[in-house]
Amino acid sequence: MHRSLDRIRALLQRRWFRTAFVAIGLGLSLYVIGGMIYRNWSAFQSFSWQLALLPLAGAAAALAAAFGLNLLTWILISRTFGSRVGLWKDVEIYSFSTIVRRLPGAIWQLASRTYLYHQAESSLAVPLWGSLWEYVVQLSSGLLLLSLVLLLSPAMRSEFPGGLGWLLLLVPVGWFSFRPQDAVSLAKRISPKVQSQPQLTARNAGTWIALYVLSWCLGGAILYFLISALSPQSWSMLPVCVGLVAASGVLTVLASPLPGGLGIREISLVLLLELYLPTPVAVAGGVLMRLWLLVGEAIVALLVLLIASGRQRWVSTDRNTP
């Protein structure tokens, strides 16, 4: 078992293998989305390609708010696992790792956090355990929203792979929410070298999951505003967008250990949007959502990083001034 894991880990570290996975993901995305455009070319030609500015402003505000919620969640998680580097240092590290994580493969975000917390003379438990629990919380909160939308939307339930079978995943979600220490025990069984950590409580896990549920909802708001910028939508489409973002997000989180993610986010979001919207709006909305998150989140993270770094330098200079 350990030899197999070591071989897989060594393979994932090879540049040609990661590049091949990224190419496969890009190819799948182009194949699926390109096929949809080809089959509906006349609809694309007749569509009025104009963007309304007011909904775009709403999408920008929702993105900034979602980043703030994710940052707050990370600060709470890092403090639980012993971070004592100070608020602004936590902000700086989170913002930098957010920019870095857009590189193919999930390893870059973890590597940057590990290095920066090590430089700040913090325990490695903060980036390692913190990142693990961040992943668990993202997946758990997304599954909660996905389960809700599958129950309420027959159209999505009939098309989404697995259907109501995804509700079974609520069992481990609920288990680890009410008994988070069991996740620590499971990690120790898988890797006996894992060191003991602070006692986690259901309140810790519940708070983190609740914050990420709000973040997923803001992600749905981003999608809603973006498709509204392409074509006016009623407010009844907002909860649908929340469910679609949660669904594609869960698939993306599950695929995140793979380099490039195999294009899961783009393909799933466009296919799900097509259940509710004309094909041109679905394709343009899915692609625009991807670009919006890539560029917008990087800009917000960079601004927050500059503010945090500037404040750190200002405090350091102020302390050294006689």
Structure-token pair, residue 20: 């091949």
Asked whether residue 47 is domain-assigned, the answer is: no
What pTM was estimated for this model as a whole? Answer: 0.80
- State the residue range of the domain holding 301: 2-36+53-320
Exposure string over 156-189, b if 16+ CB within 10 A, otherwise e? beeebeeeeebeebeeebeebbeebeebbeeeee
Q: How many domains does the chain have?
A: 1
Helix (H, G, I), strand (E, B) or coil at 198: coil
Asked whether residue 314 is domain-assigned, the answer is: yes
pLDDT for the residue numbered 228: 93
pLDDT for the residue numbered 216: 94
Asked whether residue 41 is domain-assigned, the answer is: no
Q: What is the mean pLDDT of each run of 10 residues along the chain (322 residues)?
A: 48 53 55 62 67 92 95 92 85 85 66 82 82 86 84 73 71 74 64 58 88 94 94 89 87 66 70 85 86 86 84 62 54
Asked whether residue 42 is domain-assigned, the answer is: no
DSSP assignment of 74-118, as one string? HHHHHHHTT--S-HHHHHHHHHHHHHHTTSSSTHHHHHHHHHHHH
pLDDT for the residue numbered 2: 43
Pairwise CA distance, residues 145 & 57, whole Å: 25
Asked whether residue 48 is domain-assigned, the answer is: no
Asked whether residue 216 is domain-assigned, the answer is: yes
Asked whether residue 189 is domain-assigned, the answer is: yes
Asked whether residue 247 is domain-assigned, the answer is: yes
pLDDT for the residue numbered 8: 46
